[in-house]
A and B are shown apart, each in its own frame.
Chain A
Amino acid sequence: MIIETNNLTRKFGDRLAVDNLNLTAEEGKILGFLGPNGAGKTTTMRMLAGLISPTSGYAVVDGIRPDKEAERVHEIIGILTETPGFYNNLSAQRNLEYFAGFYNLSDASAQIEKYLKLMELWERKSDKVGTFSKGMKQRLAITRALIHRPKILFLDEPTSGLDPEVSQEVRGLIQNLSREGYTIILSTHNLSEAEQLCHRIAVIRSALVTLDTPANLRKRLFKHQTMIKLEEIDENLIQAISKLDYVNKHSREENTLLIELADPSKHQSDLIKKIVEAGGRIIEVTDKKHSLEDIYLSLLNEEEKI
């Protein structure tokens, strides 16, 4: 694990922003921090990046304690802050040269050229950043986070405030970076973004609500359901299904039956046979997919009940 936290806690006065957080991040994978506003995502990211210290507990980032050796951590991380700031009166290239100047880079110019070209900003390299659109600034901020070849990238709300097209571009870019082997910690409250990008998701609400892959979260929270769309559903059909001992639960949504089977791989074909025998005319058979939104809301609801 490239990142591990041990009861990581941060208080601001009396307010508990991060509460005994224990999580891990795998090398070369994208770990998403998902949670409502004020859940402690940015605070956690800042503690991992060595920008602020924990009140108690600690984190280990690539074998380094950020609270003890922040400068060493800064050598190996790149960060995209929630509001990425630039010197608006300086050119894009000059801004990057300035930030690159704090690392021991022998090929800063080549790195800047490489990433400006990758981000399609090379043609605008001499333009003042103040003239850039929000999307261009975001791409430039990602470039800034990459020029020193960090091992870990912290991306705080990378698509926040961007239009859908630019957001999609940025997401594509993050996926490419992940393929290149970067470890990425992505903070977002955009559920579809987290689902699209993250290998694992940490749902945070001050404390860690859960940490798993989106698929495992689905499995854990929702039983498998078979969706059968029919031309029409009558009472006989419902009764026939109710009598089947392997049907745990069933419900109806207009002309679609939602059926929870004891063992879907074993019983699904027999179920279809029985429906046809009962006169049902099947249009479509699919598995019910639960969106990350369902998972997220379910988790937060459970959390509230506790």
Chain B
Amino acid sequence: MTKQRIFNILKKEWQVMFTELNSLMLVTVLPVIILAQGLLYVWLIEKFGGESMINSSFFQSVLRKISEVMSAVSNLEITEQLQVFLLSQFNFYLLLIPVMIAVSFATFSIVDEKQTHSLEALLATPVRTWELLLGKALSGAIPAIIVTWICGALLLLGVQVLGWGDLLTYFLNPAWFIILFLLTPAISILSFLLGVIGSARAKDSKSAQNLVVLIVLPVLALIGIQISGVVWFTTILTLVLALAVVVIDFFVLKVAVRLFSRESIIISWR
């Protein structure tokens, strides 16, 4: 029965979400923009990465860092080294996709229930709170994860098509896969749960999204840390980071379940 109920929630959530133009735009246009933007930067380096860029002290320090962690990269042309450097950032950059999709779906899903007063009738059914929460979390996390994986595949395809296939061996490392297959789902669920918590405090989806947009900041910080060369996320460090997010997921889930108590929803959600 639990599986049936969760599937029931998933099906309804997707039906409701995909009647909304914003949701459709979010899972189609946004990932394409993020992906195209990234590939464009790599192309620009190849095309216009001149002396000034190569001589820049920032890029020189970054290249030194990348040579330390990937010694094979130092055999490449400077422009190619910069391209590898940028492509290495892509896996973190792609994390923006699940964060934004999951957050947006969470806020929409919860605030819509609040605004339409449908939740009290739903809570009067035999559905358990965790079934409801899991169903909703999956409805937001699954599209977010799938879209991110598709973008990951499109990135590799784009790299191949644009003639940078030789560079794949340099940045397609275990860390890349850990980010895609462990960190992406963990961050999607975390974003959704934080979205739920934010929504529980907000009156409408706009204010909810304003609250939870802050979730994007840590992801931007990760990108910033790696770009600036402060920390380079090696395989081990990436694994530690991903596992830490999984642990955080459980803590945040506890908070979300507490906020989702039938009593507080029925009494406070007006």
Please give the residue numbers on chain A whose beta carbons come within 8 Å of chain B beta carbons, in ascending order.
Answer: 12, 46, 49-53, 70-72, 74-75, 77-79, 81, 83-90, 94, 98-99, 101-104, 141, 144
Please name the residue on chain B nearest to A78 by beta carbon.
Answer: B124
- Asked if residues B15 and A46 are in contact (CB atoms below 8 Å), the reply is no
- Asked if residues B128 and A71 are in contact (CB atoms below 8 Å), the reply is yes
Closest 4 CB pairs of A and B: A85-B117, A85-B118, A101-B8, A102-B125
Q: Which of B15, B118, B122 has the most CB of A within 10 A?
A: B118
Segment 232-270 of B: residues with Cβ below 8 Å from A? 262-263, 266-267
Complex Cα–Cα for A222 and B117 (A): 43
* A-side contacts of B126, CB under 8 Å: 71-72, 74-75, 102-103
Please give the residue numbers on chain B whose beta carbons come within 8 Å of chain A beta carbons, in ascending order.
Answer: 1, 4-5, 8, 11-12, 15-16, 19-20, 112-113, 116-128, 262-263, 266-267
Contact of B12 among A50, A88, A98 (CB under 8 A): A98
- Asked if residues A85 and B120 are in contact (CB atoms below 8 Å), the reply is yes
Q: Which of B117, B119, B125, B128 has the most CB of A within 10 A?
A: B125
Nearest Cβ on chain A to B251's Cβ, whole angstroms? 26
- Asked if residues A104 and B1 are in contact (CB atoms below 8 Å), the reply is yes
- Asked if residues A52 and B19 are in contact (CB atoms below 8 Å), the reply is no
Please name the residue on chain B nearest to A154 by beta carbon.
Answer: B124
* B-side contacts of A12, CB under 8 Å: 267
- Asked if residues B121 and A144 are in contact (CB atoms below 8 Å), the reply is yes
* A-side contacts of B116, CB under 8 Å: 85-88
Q: List 16 A-B contacts (CB under 8 A).
A: A49-B124, A51-B120, A52-B263, A52-B267, A53-B263, A71-B126, A71-B128, A78-B124, A79-B124, A81-B117, A84-B121, A85-B116, A85-B121, A87-B16, A102-B5, A141-B121
Given the interface pairs A12-B267, A90-B15, the reply to whether A99 lies near B117 with Cβ below 8 Å is no
- Asked if residues B118 and A87 are in contact (CB atoms below 8 Å), the reply is yes
Complex Cα–Cα for A50 and B124 (A): 8
* A-side contacts of B122, CB under 8 Å: 99, 102
